[in-house]
Amino acid sequence: MKPDGKVVLLGDMNVGKTSLLHRYMERRFQDTVSTVGGAFYLKQWGPHNISIWDTAGREQFHGLGSMYCRGAAAVILTYDVTNLQSMVELEDRFLALTDSASPDCLFIVAGNKVDLTDACAFLPESEDKQIEKPPNSFISTKVKKQVHVNDAIAFYRKILKYKMLDEVNAPAAEKMCFETSAKTGYNVDHLFETIFEMVVPVILQQKAEGLPQTVDLNNCKTAKNTHSGCCR
Amino acid sequence: MENEDPGLPCKGGMDLPEQKRGLDPTDRYGDESCSVSEKQEEAPAAPNNGPLNMVVDKVNGQEELREAPEELSDKDVSDSTSIDNTWEDSSEFRRQMVIGDGPSGEEEAVIQSRLATYRDEDVTAESWRAHRKHVFILSEAGKPIYSRYGNEEALSSTMGVMMALVSFIQSGDNSIRSIYSDDHKLVFVQQGPLVLVSVSHTLQSEQQLRQELLYVYDQIISMLTQASITRIFERKKNYDLRRLLTGSEKILDRLLNLVESDPCFLLGAVRCLPLPASLRDSLGTLLQKAITPNLVFSILVARSQLVTTVQEKTVIEDCRLEPTDLHLLLNLIGATSAFQTGEIWTPICLPRFNPDCYFYAYISYLDSECTVCLILLSTDKDSFYSVSDCKKRIEEGMRTQNYLQALSSGLKSPSYSVGLVGVPDLRHFMYKPLDIPDNYRQLPQFTSPELEGPYCSENERHRLFDLYHYLHGRIHSTSRPLRLIYHVAEKETLLAWVTSKFELYTCFNPLVTKAGAINVLTKLLRWIKKEEDRLFIRYPPKYSTTPNPGKGSRAPRTDGTENGFFGGGH
Ligand SMILES: Nc1nc2c(ncn2[C@@H]2O[C@H](COP(=O)(O)OP(=O)(O)O)[C@@H](O)[C@H]2O)c(=O)[nH]1
Ligand SMILES: [Mg+2]
Predicted local confidence at residue B141, as pLDDT = 86
Instruction: Please tell me if residue B341 touches chain A, with a CB cutoff of 8 Å.
Output: yes
Q: What span, in angstroms and rounded, lies between the C-alpha atoms of B207 and B69?
A: 28
Mean pLDDT of B172-179: 75
* Ligand 1 nearest atom to the CA of residue B247, by list position: 19
Return the number of other C-beta atoms located less than 10 Å from residue A221's C-beta.
12
Q: Chain A contacts of B365, Cβ < 8 Å?
A: none
Residue B551 has pLDDT above 80, yes or no: no
Within an 8 Å CB–CB cutoff, is residue B563 touching chain A?
yes
Cβ–ligand 1 contact at A6 (below 6 Å): no
Residue B345 reports pLDDT greater than 50: yes
CB of B267 within 8 A of CB of B432? yes
pLDDT for res B30: 33
Whether residue A199 has its Cβ less than 6 Å from ligand 1: no
What are the backbone angles phi and psi of residue B485, rounded to the nearest 5°? -135, 125
Contact assessment for residue A122 and residue A186, using Cβ atoms and an 8 Å cutoff = no
Q: Measured between CB atoms, does B568 come within 8 Å of chain A? A: yes
Helical H segments across B319-457, by residue range: 323-337, 384-400, 403-409
Question: How far is B337 from chain A, CA to nearest CA, in Å?
Answer: 7
Mean pLDDT of B297-315: 88
Is B194 a residue whose pLDDT tops 90?
A: yes
pLDDT at B441: 65
More confident residue, A57 or B173: A57
Cβ proximity of A226 and A105 under 8 Å: no
Which has the closest alpha carbon to B209: B298, B152, B133, B101? Answer: B133
CA separation for the pair A162, B161 (Å, rounded): 48
CB contact under 8 A, B346 and A61: yes
What's the whole-model pTM score? Answer: 0.80
**Residue among B468, B429, B465 nearest B100 (CA):** B465
Instruction: Please state, in angstroms and rounded to a whole number, the distance separating the CA atoms of residues B187 and B209.
Output: 7
User: Which listed ligand is nearest to B344 at the C-alpha?
Assistant: 2
Residue B430, beta-bridge partner list: B505
Instruction: Pick the range with the lowest mean pLDDT from B104-118, B295-309, B425-439.
Output: B104-118
- Residue A184 Cβ < 6 Å to ligand 1: no
Q: Rounded mean pLDDT of A61-80? A: 91
Please report the atom of ligand 1 found closest to the CA of residue A180.
27
When pLDDT is averaged across residues B42-54 and rounded to a whole number, the result is 35
What is the Cα–Cα distance from B351 to A214, expressed in whole angstroms? 33
B460 touches A at CB < 8 Å: no
Cβ–Cβ of B384/A41 closer than 8 Å? no
| Residue A227: pLDDT band with limits 50, 70, 90 | very low
The overall average pLDDT reported for chain A is: 82
State the angle between helix axes of B249-261 and B323-337 in degrees (0 to 180), rounded to the nearest 10: 130
Of B104-113, B161-170, B525-534, highest mean pLDDT: B525-534
Q: pLDDT band at B438, cuts 50/70/90?
A: low
Range A27-51 average pLDDT: 90
- Residue B359, pLDDT > 70, answer yes
A54 → chain B, closest CA residue: B342
Q: What is the mean pLDDT of chain B?
A: 76
Summarize pLDDT for A81-115 with one digit per residue, the tens: 999 999 999 999 999 999 999 888 999 999 999 99
Confidence at residue B281, expressed as pLDDT on a 0 to 100 scale: 93
B270 vs B258: CA distance, rounded Å = 13
List the single range of A15-19, A224-228, B209-213 with lowest mean pLDDT: A224-228
Rounded distance, CA B56 to CA B302, Å?
A: 39
Q: Which residue of B has its CA nearest to A217?
A: B382
- The predicted pLDDT at position A27 comes to 92
B384 vs B332: CA distance, rounded Å: 19
- Among all residues of chain B, which has the CA nearest to that of A66? B564
A195-220: burial string, b at 16+ Cβ within 10 Å, e else: bbebbbebbeebeeeebebebbbeeb
Maximum average pLDDT range among A156-170, B85-99, B498-512: B498-512
List C-alpha distances in Å: B402 to B169, B197, B370, B398, B399. Answer: 62, 49, 17, 6, 5
Mutate to test the interface with B, among A6, A12, A33 (most CBs of B within 10 A): A33
Q: In this complex, which of A31, A40, A232 lies closest to B564 when CB atoms are compared?
A: A232
pLDDT of residue B31: 33
pLDDT at B8 over 60: no
Give the whole-angstrom CA distance, residue B514 versus residue B503.
19
Alpha-carbon gap, residue A227 to A219, rounded angstroms: 15
Reported as a single tens digit per residue, the pLDDT across A121-155 is 444 544 444 444 444 444 446 788 899 999 999 99
B225 pLDDT above the threshold of 50: yes
Give the number of A-B residue pairs with CB atoms closer than 8 Å. 134
Report pLDDT digits (tens) over B49-77. 333 333 333 333 223 222 333 345 444 44
Q: Which residues contact A87 (CB under 8 A, 6 or more apart)?
A: A79, A111, A146, A147, A151, A152, A155
Of A214, A224, A231, the CB nearest to B564: A231
Residue B567 to residue A217, Cβ atoms within 8 A:
no
Q: Residues of A at the B interface (Cβ-Cβ below 8 Å)?
A: 2, 13, 21-22, 25-26, 30-31, 33-41, 54, 56, 58-64, 66-67, 93, 96, 214-215, 217-221, 224-225, 227-228, 230-232
Mean pLDDT throughout B99-108?
36
Instruction: Tell me which of B46-55, B226-235, B415-424, B544-553 is least confident.
Output: B46-55
What percent of chain A has pLDDT above 90? 55
A13 lines ligand 1 (CB under 6 A): yes
- Per-residue pLDDT of B440-496, as tens digits, reads 567 899 999 999 889 989 889 989 999 999 999 999 988 888 999 999 999 999 999
Instruction: Tell me how many helices (H) and strands (E) chain B has.
Output: 18, 18
pLDDT at position A136: 47
Determine, for residues A62 and B247 on separate chains, whether the beta-carbon distance falls below 8 Å: no
Residue to mutate (ligand 1; options A8, A10, A13, A14; most atoms within 8 A of CB): A14
Helix (H, G, I), strand (E, B) or coil at B485: strand
| % of residues, chain A, pLDDT over 70 | 79
Helices (H), chain A: 17-26, 65-69, 84-89, 127-132, 137-141, 149-162, 173-176, 188-208, 227-231
What is the mean pLDDT of the segment spanning B152-161? 77
